[in-house]
Amino acid sequence: MILPLLLISSFVPNPICGKIIDHSDGLPICNALVYSGRDSVYTNPDGSFQLNTSNEKVFVEALGFKTKELTNSLSGVTVYLEPLLPVSVVCKKKK
């Protein structure tokens, strides 16, 4: 009788909530994508989010920042995203 309860509890979504912050200036990142499998949300203007998922791995993506992986066991977490380094491209004319 305990086994069916264990199987059911492993599929119950766990809410993970927190705030996404720019590591370089400490400002919140609005519209960052927080996802895990088919479950996803975008952060609010203050960088906050709440995602209900039963998956273990959670990812955070935002334009201009490195993707970060979290574990679903964290809640009330502040995540600092690292900005991508600028890359310069030099175009030379053919002679």
DSSP code per residue over 2-68: HHHHHHHHTTS-EEEEEEEEETTT--B-TT-EEEETTEEEE--TTSEEEEEE--SEEEEE-TTB--E
Global model pTM greater than 0.85: no
Amino acid identity, residue 42? Y
Per-residue pLDDT in tens (0 to 9) along the chain, 95 residues:
555 544 444 556 678 899 999 999 999 999 999 999 889 999 999 999 999 988 888 999 999 999 999 876 667 889 999 999 877 777 888 77
Tell me which architecture the domain covering 17-81 has in CATH: Sandwich (2.60)
Instruction: State the greatest distance between any 2 C-alpha atoms of the chain, in Å, as a whole number.
Output: 80
